[in-house]
């Protein structure tokens, strides 16, 4: 094992006695923390601290020797590091690409902390994180960010630089942290129109654990993404591109044999865990990963972070944007699996929190996507719109509560609307916000072609927008305010942020107003 003492010993006897290849790498040729730092899954008394040693990020081993390496970690009471409140050592092991996940507990509730990692003479920047309020204690305000869908080739991460400057308790990342496909020299938008080619990704399509590791390494080298991670704790959930586009369960659009896809998915899950600030609860086991979980923020909000991929049945009607077919009404279809459905329904009806925040990956509103006079209703089969039975069960569990806000991503657009039973024609039971992408789809425009027709044909939908950015939510006991923050360009530096629309929900009323 490489310890901090052996790393800084230089020409000491212990170093000289080590094998030549180890002596050459104990004092890293390059800075070992090139992928940054992060914190996540905060509770009232702690959080997870993450980093990965990778002096050569795109190398097969990250530029690391195939041995455990000891890292020191520190948690501070203030940004000037005047008082260490906790510290320890952790082994970065080659089995996990020399990543570490430090669970810190025993801290004071509802306050900021600062942290860093040290190995040998190398130190990380000082990260800022925080603990959450104690469950069930009075809380009059909570502010958090929502982001995701960050295709590296499609644009710069300028929006993350702006998000890092927002005063938020945490960020929820809804998925598509990486895109698994090979690079293209002529990227296109959602209808095949060329968009600006901003930057290249390395490697071909991801299949092996090593492929996924390199893809995460390239994404995480982005300085704006690193800054956003270093300024607030994150809750993370995966969607499809962390594995392969439009996967569900063990099914893929390319009809890969399930036993082969299981191998690919297992490698993708391991790489995801290695690069996210997740607790050991989410450690991949037997090819599966526990990603749905719940957090309570004082007496103000219960957050239910869902998994809408791992237990979903295959997409009906050929997938993608397709006319409805018998498959959309299949009573046996599943999005979350019955155990997760029951877990969520029980959590929604628990007492003690003013709001229920349902944080999941794909839009729940069953939007009719027709824009050209097509005869048959068209839906996005990669969303809840392709699964009538589980969607209606979900909405039935929300009926009468008056405090449910559902959020999603995946669409690379902003949307706001009401969740109504009976395929959107019945009573409203909740509201839904869909946050746009950080970069996927390029710079975009205010409205997509046909947006006015979609709004007209879907009365429950109140707002749409096709720019990049993120969402800010400010929650009080009586009001939920969601700001759609958009950036004017991602195809070149200098993007300017603005608030495109603000949606307001009053507790007890599953409806929204816009300003």
Q: What is the CATH number of the domain that holds 197?
A: 3.60.21.70
Phi, psi at residue 251, to the nearest 5°? -110, 145
* Nearest alpha-carbon partner for 369 in 336, 322, 327, 413: 322
Q: Which tokens hold the place of 72?
A: 């020191």
Domain end point (choices 66, 101, 130): 130
Please name every residue paired with 39 in a beta bridge, in sequence order, or none if there are none: 49
Domain end point (choices 100, 130, 160): 130
Residue 11: per-residue pLDDT:
36
Shared domain for 455 and 359, answered yes or no, is: yes
Shared domain for 123 and 171, answered yes or no, is: no
Residue 7: per-residue pLDDT:
46
| Number of DSSP helices (H) and strands (E) in the chain, helices first | 10, 24
Shared domain for 162 and 15, answered yes or no, is: no
User: DSSP states of 24-69 as a string?
Assistant: HHHS-SS-TTTT-EEEE---SS-EEEEEE--SSTTSTTTT--SS-E
Number of domains present in the structure of the chain: 2
Going residue by residue through the chain, which has 515 residues, state the pLDDT in tens, using 9 for 90 and above.
555 445 444 433 334 344 434 433 456 889 999 999 999 999 999 999 999 999 999 999 999 999 999 999 999 999 999 999 999 999 999 999 999 999 999 999 999 999 999 999 999 999 999 999 999 899 999 999 999 999 999 999 999 999 999 999 999 999 999 999 988 767 777 767 887 889 999 999 999 999 999 999 999 999 999 999 999 999 999 999 999 999 999 999 999 999 999 999 999 999 999 999 999 999 999 999 999 999 999 999 999 999 999 999 999 999 999 999 999 999 999 999 999 999 999 999 998 999 999 999 999 999 999 998 899 999 999 999 999 999 999 999 999 999 999 999 999 999 999 999 999 999 999 999 999 999 999 999 999 999 999 999 999 999 999 999 999 999 999 999 999 999 999 999 999 999 999 999 999 999 999 99
Alpha helices in 166-281 (DSSP H): 209-220, 223-231, 258-275
Shared domain for 171 and 77, answered yes or no, is: no
Please give the residue range of the domain that contains residue 98.
Answer: 4-130
Shared domain for 19 and 39, answered yes or no, is: yes
Residue 1: per-residue pLDDT:
57
Return left, alpha or beta for 272; rule: phi > 0 is left, psi -120 to 50 is alpha, else beta: alpha
Domain end point (choices 130, 157, 192): 130
pTM over 0.85: yes
Residue 20: per-residue pLDDT:
39
Please name every residue paired with 90 in a beta bridge, in sequence order, or none if there are none: 71
Tell me, yes or no, whether 114 lies in a domain.
yes
3-state secondary structure 308-356: CCCCCCCCCCCCCEEECCHHHHCCCCCCCCHHHHHHHHHHHCCCCCCEE
Residue 136: per-residue pLDDT:
86
Residue 27: per-residue pLDDT:
60
Shared domain for 118 and 196, answered yes or no, is: no
Distances (CA, A) of 230 to 11, 222, 253: 34, 12, 36
pLDDT 10s digits, 165-207? 999 999 999 999 999 998 876 777 776 788 788 999 999 999 9
Query: What value, to the nearest 5°, has the Cα angle with vertex 352 and ends 351 and 353?
Result: 110
Query: Cβ(323)–Cβ(376) under 8 Å?
Result: yes
Count CB atoms within 10 A of the CB of residue 102.
21
Tell me, yes or no, whether 136 lies in a domain.
no
Residue 189: per-residue pLDDT:
74
User: Which residue, chain included where needed, has tokens 């690069």?
Assistant: 275
Alpha helices in 68-128 (DSSP H): none
pLDDT 10s digits, 106-159? 999 999 999 999 999 999 999 999 999 999 899 999 999 999 999 999 999 999
Shared domain for 110 and 192, answered yes or no, is: no
Residue 196: per-residue pLDDT:
81
Query: Cβ(64)–Cβ(86) under 8 Å?
Result: no
Distances (CA, A) of 205 to 59, 194, 276, 406, 432: 17, 21, 21, 32, 33
Shared domain for 117 and 155, answered yes or no, is: no
Question: 95-98 long-range contacts, Cβ below 8 Å, gap at least 24?
Answer: 96/270, 96/273, 96/274, 97/52, 97/54, 97/62, 97/213, 97/271, 97/274, 98/52, 98/53, 98/54, 98/62, 98/64, 98/69
Shared domain for 278 and 171, answered yes or no, is: yes
Residue 187: per-residue pLDDT:
74
Q: DSSP state, 201?
A: P
Tell me, yes or no, whether 137 lies in a domain.
no
* Rounded distance between C-alpha atoms, residue 325 and residue 366, angstroms: 14
Shared domain for 206 and 85, answered yes or no, is: no
Q: Which tokens hold the place of 23?
A: 């002596």
Count CB atoms within 10 A of the CB of residue 227.
17
Tell me, yes or no, whether 135 lies in a domain.
no
Shared domain for 340 and 481, answered yes or no, is: yes
Q: How far is CA 371 from the centre of its chain?
A: 31
Q: What is the CATH number of the domain that holds 31?
A: 2.60.40.380
Residue 81: per-residue pLDDT:
92
Residue 108: per-residue pLDDT:
98
Shared domain for 254 and 153, answered yes or no, is: yes
């Amino acid at each position: 094992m490489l310890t901090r003492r052996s790393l800084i010993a230089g020409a000491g006897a212990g170093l000289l006695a080590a094998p030549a290849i180890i002596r050459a790498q104990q004092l890293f040729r390059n800075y070992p923390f090139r992928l940054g730092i992060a914190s996540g899954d905060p509770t009232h008394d702690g959080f997870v601290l993450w980093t990965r040693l990778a002096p050569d990020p795109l190398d097969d081993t990250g530029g690391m020797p195939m041995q455990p390496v000891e890292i020191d970690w520190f948690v501070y009471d203030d940004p000037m590091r005047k008082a260490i409140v906790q510290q320890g050592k952790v082994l970065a092991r080659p089995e996990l690409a020399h990543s570490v996940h430090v669970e810190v507990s025993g801290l004071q509730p509802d306050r900021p902390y600062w942290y860093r990692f040290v190995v040998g003479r190398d130190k990380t920047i000082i990260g800022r994180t925080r603990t959450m309020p104690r469950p069930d204690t009075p809380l009059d305000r909570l502010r958090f960010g929502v982001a995701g869908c960050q295709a590296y080739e499609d644009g710069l991460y300028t929006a993350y630089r702006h998000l890092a400057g927002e005063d938020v308790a945490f960020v929820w990342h809804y998925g598509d942290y990486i895109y698994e496909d090979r690079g293209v020299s002529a990227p296109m938008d959602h209808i095949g129109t060329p968009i600006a080619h901003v930057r290249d990704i390395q490697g071909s399509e991801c299949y092996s654990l090593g492929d996924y590791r390199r893809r995460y390494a390239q994404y995480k080298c982005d300085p704006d993404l690193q800054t956003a991670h270093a300024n607030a704790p994150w809750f993370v959930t995966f969607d499809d591109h962390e594995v392969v586009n439009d996967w569900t369960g063990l099914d893929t659009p390319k009809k890969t044999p399930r036993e082969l896809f299981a191998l690919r998915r297992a490698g993708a899950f391991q790489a995801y865990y290695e690069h996210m600030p997740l607790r050991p609860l989410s450690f991949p086991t037997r090819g599966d990963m526990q990603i749905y979980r719940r957090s309570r923020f004082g007496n103000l909000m219960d957050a239910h972070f869902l998994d809408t991929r791992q237990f979903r049945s295959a997409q009906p009607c050929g997938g993608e944007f397709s006319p409805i077919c018998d498959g959309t009404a299949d009573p046996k279809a599943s999005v979350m699996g019955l155990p997760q459905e029951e877990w969520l329904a029980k959590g929604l009806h628990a007492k003690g929190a003013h709001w229920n925040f349902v944080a999941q990956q794909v839009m729940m509103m069953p939007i009719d996507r027709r824009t050209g006079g097509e005869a048959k209703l068209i839906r996005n089969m990669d969303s809840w719109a392709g699964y009538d039975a589980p969607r209606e069960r979900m909405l039935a569990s929300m009926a009468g509560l008056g405090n449910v806000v559902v959020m999603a991503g995946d669409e690379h657009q902003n949307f706001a609307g009401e969740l109504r039973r009976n395929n959107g024609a019945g009573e409203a039971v909740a509201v839904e916000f869909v946050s746009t992408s950080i970069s996927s789809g390029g710079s975009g425009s205010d409205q997509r072609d046909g947006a006015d027709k979609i709004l007209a044909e879907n009365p429950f939908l109140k707002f749409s927008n096709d720019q990049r950015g993120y969402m800010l939510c400010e929650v009080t006991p009586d009001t939920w305010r969601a700001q759609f923050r958009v950036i004017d360009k991602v195809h070149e530096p200098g993007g300017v942020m603005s608030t495109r629309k603000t949606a307001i929900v009053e507790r007890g009323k599953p409806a929204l107003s816009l300003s």
